């Protein structure tokens, strides 16, 4: 295919997407010629029409690189700006989205998600690089991923970014002002980034898809105002209000405290999507009664972390129950189980990671109890992955991990191969941080070259199960579950 045919096909994609009208085709062609560093045009014979936007993007980027339009330091910004040519303006996308919504909410999100993948705003090819497997447990199958999707920066690009002036506009990576931002310095490329506007409880919110999605239709719902995250009744109201708009999605929030919270606590936001997480499949281990809320069915979930599942068709009563549980948890301590709500300095250590979903007219709120206390023995967090697990996972246990999907660091791809070699007594460069773990595997397992890879995968899955158990405040043992029931009785006490 000639470069001229590639440009013509790219222009036709822009027409089909609604980025331009047919009358604008010559105009866009000329804009592309300049953008690619070209000065002439030859009418293509139109023997073929490529409709894969990513294949067209690759060929156009090759042409631009040959014409010295960008280099390794500016590649991601140039690529996003190129795809912006076939991306409709925000007003057009929002118009089409809400028109399709009138027929079915699923049609609206399918339109927006398909577009996001086509224009490489959701980076499907990078996401496909992730390594994934499951690990069976008594709680159900946990999902394990080694995250390779976000490409490592070239050292030259890192150096160039450091030389640029860092800007405070936008205030963070979630702000609405990122829409269409070329980027640079401390800001990522967002030329082809688009946001759906919606209203939740009389506030303006944005809905977007995550570029390096960790699960199907991984989306971010963020407040248009740059304000800190807060888990409170209003947050529960927002989660349930979102389900009224998009009943086919789940939605949850990271906790709002350090250690147990997410990576961005400075901007109020939630994560949604269309994925059946392991925790959402989990059954109730112990049904409980909330005496003040007869319309709410409740139970302790069969899960390594401490989760109360509330279900009801009565949204108002569900909100009342969840709000009271949060308030009581924020002030609940159990010294025998090392659970401290407020320390000597008066600092609050308890919050909740909430996850909301819907089946028909019934709403479900899973309330995961979190505690970010530290101690001399556990300076990283008493209810955080303990030191002996850090060789696999030491990062915060956020919303996605809470629900049973491990996001493990990319370093493990190479490191685990060396562990396999060590287990097979082959020459290796295994890192010392894995030695104790690897020696234990070697001593207790029968290892063959055919089975070593799966053995290591399942051993990693077992570590993630321990990670979640460490993060549980009421442990999955007799004292822990007795303590959980004690907390339930505290909920049921008269105020």
Spans of the chain below 50 pLDDT? 158
Q: What would the DSSP string read from start to end of 391-415?
A: TT--S---HHHHTTEEEE-THHHHH
Q: What would the DSSP string read from start to end of 300-325?
A: EESSSS-EEEEEES-HHHHHHHHHHH
- Residues 7, 28 contacting (CB under 8 angstroms): no
Helices and strands (H and E) in the chain: how many: 16, 13
How high is the pLDDT of residue 412? 97
Token reading at 474: 């009421």
Query: pLDDT digits over 140-186, tens only?
Result: 999 999 999 876 555 555 455 555 667 889 999 999 999 999 998 88
Mean pLDDT of the chain, nearest integer: 95
How high is the pLDDT of residue 37? 98
How high is the pLDDT of residue 477? 97
How high is the pLDDT of residue 158? 45
- Predicted model pTM: 0.94
Q: How many Å apart are CA 170 and CA 193, to the nearest integer?
A: 14
How high is the pLDDT of residue 263? 75
- Residues 218, 114 contacting (CB under 8 angstroms): no
- Residues 268, 259 contacting (CB under 8 angstroms): no
How big, in percent rounded to 5, are the helix, strand and coil portions of the chain? 40, 20, 40
How high is the pLDDT of residue 160? 54
How high is the pLDDT of residue 159? 52
Domain borders along the chain are 1-69
């Amino acid at each position: 295919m000639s470069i001229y045919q590639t440009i013509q096909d790219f222009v036709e994609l822009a027409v089909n997407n609604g980025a331009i009208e047919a009358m604008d085709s010559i105009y866009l062609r000329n804009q592309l010629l300049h953008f690619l560093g070209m000065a002439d045009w030859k009418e293509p014979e139109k023997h073929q029409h490529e409709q894969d936007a990513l294949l067209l993007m690759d060929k156009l980027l090759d042409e631009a690189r040959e014409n010295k339009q960008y280099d390794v330091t500016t590649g991601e910004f140039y690529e996003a700006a190129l795809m912006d040519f076939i991306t409709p303006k925000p007003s057009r996308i929002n118009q089409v989205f809400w028109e399709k919504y009138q027929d079915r909410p699923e049609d609206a999100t399918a339109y927006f998600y398909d577009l996001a993948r086509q224009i490489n705003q959701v980076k499907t090819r990078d996401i496909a690089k992730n390594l994934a497997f499951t690990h069976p447990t008594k709680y159900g199958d946990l999902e394990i991923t080694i995250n390779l999707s976000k490409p490592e920066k070239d050292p030259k690009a890192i150096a160039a970014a450091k030389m640029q002036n860092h800007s405070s506009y936008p205030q963070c990576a979630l702000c609405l002002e990122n829409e269409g931002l070329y980027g640079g310095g401390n800001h990522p490329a967002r030329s082809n980034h688009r946001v759906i506007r919606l209203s939740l409880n009389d506030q303006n919110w944005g809905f977007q898809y995550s570029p390096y999605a960790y699960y199907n239709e991984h989306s971010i719902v963020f407040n248009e105002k740059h304000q800190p995250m807060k888990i409170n009744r209003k947050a529960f109201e927002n989660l349930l209000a979102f389900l009224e708009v998009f009943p086919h999605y789940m939605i949850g929030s990271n906790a709002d405290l350090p250690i147990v919270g997410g990576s961005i606590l400075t901007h109020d936001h939630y994560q949604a999507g269309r994925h059946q997480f392991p925790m959402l499949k989990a059954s109730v281990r112990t049904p409980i009664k909330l005496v003040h809320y007869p319309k709410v069915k409740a139970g302790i979930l069969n899960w390594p972390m401490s989760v109360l599942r509330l279900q009801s068709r009565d949204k108002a009563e569900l909100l009342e129950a969840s709000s009271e549980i949060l308030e009581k948890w924020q002030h609940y301590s159990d010294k025998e189980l090392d659970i401290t709500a407020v320390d000597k300095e008066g600092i609050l250590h308890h919050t909740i990671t909430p996850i909301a979903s819907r089946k028909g007219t019934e709403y479900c709120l899973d309330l995961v109890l979190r505690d970010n206390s530290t101690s001399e023995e556990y300076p990283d967090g008493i209810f955080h992955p303990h030191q002996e697990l850090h060789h696999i996972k030491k990062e915060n246990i956020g919303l996605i991990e809470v629900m049973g999907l491990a996001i493990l660091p990319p370093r493990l791809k190479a490191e685990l191969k060396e562990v396999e070699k060590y287990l097979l007594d082959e020459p290796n460069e295994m890192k010392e941080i894995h030695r104790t773990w690897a020696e234990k595997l070697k001593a207790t397992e029968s290892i063959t070259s055919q089975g070593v890879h799966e053995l290591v995968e399942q051993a990693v899955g077992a570590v993630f199960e321990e990670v979640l158990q460490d993060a549980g405040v009421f442990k999955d043992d007799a004292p822990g579950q007795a303590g959980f029931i004690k907390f339930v009785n505290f909920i049921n006490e008269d105020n």
